[in-house]
Amino acid sequence: MKGVVQDQARSSRKSIAQRARESAGRSVMLRSFFIAAWAALLFLPFHGIRSALVLFAGIFAGLPVMQSAMRLGGPGEWMQRLPGFRAFTLRSFPFLRTSALPVFLLALFVLPFTLKDYYLDVLVMSGIYMLLALGLNVIVGFTGLLNLGFAAFYAIGAYTYALLNTKFGLGFWPSLPLSAVAATLSGLLLAVPALRLRGDYLAIVTLGFGEILRIVLNNWDSLTNGPNGISGIAPPFLFGISLGSLNFYYYLVLGLVLLSVLIIRRVKSSRVGRAWIAIRENEIAASSVGVNVTRYKLYAFAFGTFWAGIAGALFAAKMRFVSPESFTFMESVFILSMVILGGIGNIYGALAGAFILVLLPEALRDVQMYRMLLLGAGLVLLMIFRPQGILGGRKGVRIRG
């Protein structure tokens, strides 16, 4: 009798495991079908139905195979099994690790001598967006506060320099700290009432602030010249030499980006940065151990918007023209996408996300009608297969109010 009961229990466990495997297999096939159909539909306008069907078949057949291979161990595990692989890692060559950074910086400094003006212009714009992404990463990534109106502080920095230069004759260097201070004070003024809110309500307030500022800039004709914008903005000068040319301006933006990375890294490792991360992980626990949550949230808004003000002044000096249409809600979404793409809370991820999202639209100019569609498709795929971002850790960062 005991043997019969054991056989029944064993067969029951086998049937349960078999049903689970069958259910998982159906789930994988269904997911592969929808991903392949979606990718083929996006590909259809470019190369016709035949190429779209080929793409559908390749993805539909390849995804289950790839998932099965990943269960057996990722590429890193396969490479570790190769004989002698461990001997060829960077850990075995400390010289390569110590010399990588100087070589990389040297390559950045010689780029203007090897690139055309068009590519240099793209790099300059990517540097400006890197400053914006780093500033937003402090608010969203370090502290976990969702901000959907970050372009407003970008606009405040740009218009501050434009007005100081065109109406008061102030140069770039005196205006640069004033632009940063104006954006910082605006961030503090918004944060004082907004930080009483949480989650979606905080996001809606920041979104509303961005739209209100854009409408004010668009309608205050006596100060901002309305939708016509402000033109005739002077480029920066250094020792009587104009930095308006792309070569000089590239070095200016590069220097500010490197300075911002150095400062933000130091702040992240400080007591303030650790308090931000504690608030992001668990606000109640952080408050219980003595962290003044409201004060540190204000610090995060002020410090993040400071870099937006600097980026705005750089943008105005580069373009020599500003208008409200450069600071729409979509600009805020674009900057937030950079932070998400690179990895929320990762400094180098914000740099990578800004570089990729500035470079991709330029690389897809031949398919201009579909480039935003491709960009959106890429972000959706990233959220499916790597939701923590390109350089994010294994554990995703929670965004809270």
Q: Which two tokens stand for residue 160?
A: 């501050």
The mean of the pLDDT values for the chain is 80
d(CA 137, CA 142): 6
pLDDT of residue 95: 45
pLDDT tens-digit series, residues 355-392: 988 887 777 666 666 666 767 777 777 777 777 777 77
d(CA 295, CA 144): 15
- How large is the average pLDDT for residues 160-176? 92
pLDDT tens-digit series, residues 178-227: 999 999 999 999 988 888 877 788 889 999 999 999 999 999 988 888 88
- How large is the average pLDDT for residues 274-291? 90
DSSP state of 394: S
pLDDT of residue 75: 46
Let me know: does 36 contact 60? Beta carbons within 8 Å: yes
d(CA 238, CA 78): 54
Q: Is 50 exceeded by the pLDDT of residue 93?
A: no
pLDDT of residue 273: 92
Extents of the domains making up the chain: 2-85, 103-385
pLDDT tens-digit series, residues 9-21: 555 555 666 666 6
| Cα-trace Rg, the chain | 26
pLDDT tens-digit series, residues 257-282: 999 999 999 999 999 999 999 999 88
Q: Is 60 exceeded by the pLDDT of residue 87?
A: no
Residue 136: which pLDDT band, with cuts at 50, 70 and 90? Answer: very high
pTM: 0.77
Residue 342: which pLDDT band, with cuts at 50, 70 and 90? Answer: confident
CA–centroid distance for 347 within its chain: 9
pLDDT of residue 106: 80
**What is the CATH code for 103-385?**
1.10.3470
Q: Which two tokens stand for residue 378?
A: 């890429």
What spatial distance separates the first Cα and last Cα of the chain, rounded to whole Å? 61
- How large is the average pLDDT for residues 68-83? 50
DSSP state of 396: P
DSSP state of 327: S
**Residue 248: exposure state from Cβ atoms within 10 A (0-12, 13-18, ≥19):** middle
pLDDT of residue 265: 93
pLDDT of residue 382: 76
